[in-house]
Amino acid sequence: MIITDLARRGESELYKVYVDDEFVCLMQAETIVKNKLKKGQEIDKQTFDEIFNQSQILTCKNQAINYVSKCLKTQKQVEIYLKQKGYTDVAIKNAVTLLLDYGYINDKYYAQCFVKSKQNTKGINYIKNALKQKGVKNNIIEEVTKDYKANDDELLMLAKKYLKNKTIDNTTRQKLCRHLFSKGFNFDEINKIVNIVLKDEGNDWN
């Protein structure tokens, strides 16, 4: 195998690597310099594959850091993203370990921020299910939601907003209950607010 060309891709730190006049991969400049690769160099397949793996691990780390720098992500979200980008399990593991070590990934902190952002618009059931889907472990979910309580004033506003310009009857009441339930609020919270907003204290939710 002969490295026939190393061509920089735009202004990035990636180079197009050509072996025997065929493009084979993109490789980090750091990896090329570290391994002293150059045009016209003869190299065996095993050595080339090892060097390519080094580059992929480095590229994967850089892309992972860029991904989490835009907004908070859970460990599972990062792993799925990198898998979709085609990185190997080894590269993904290295990248995730780096992000965990440097605090770029912190599922507990993510969960705390998520709860805070949803506390006035979503119920506990929605929040727990959403965090579980994002890969947050059950013990973390229980810890960050143990003191969570729906804000009655905000829930009342949600109910009034839904009822705006609607005819108040039993069908509307049922639709309102389903609407609030879909937002993750529990039966007791819904029953309390629906009775208040409809001025029907004696009609309990079934």
Cα(158)–Cα(143) distance, rounded to whole angstroms? 27
pLDDT band at 149 (very low <50, low <70, confident <90, very high): confident
pLDDT band at 154 (very low <50, low <70, confident <90, very high): confident
Tokens of 43: 């190299």
Residue 5 predicted with pLDDT over 60:
yes
> How would you write 48-98 as a 3-class SS string?
HHHHHHHHHHHHHHHHHHHHHHHCCCCHHHHHHHHHHCCCCHHHHHHHHHH
Residue 150 predicted with pLDDT over 50:
yes
Q: How far is CA 197 from CA 22, 126, 156, 172, in A?
A: 71, 22, 7, 12
Handedness of CA 122, 129, 75, 115 (dihedral sign): positive
The angle formed by the CA atoms of residues 33, 39 and 42, to the nearest 5 degrees, is 95
pLDDT of residue 100: 94
Residue 203 predicted with pLDDT over 70:
no
Cα(16)–Cα(30) distance, rounded to whole angstroms? 13
Residue 25 predicted with pLDDT over 60:
yes
pLDDT band at 130 (very low <50, low <70, confident <90, very high): very high
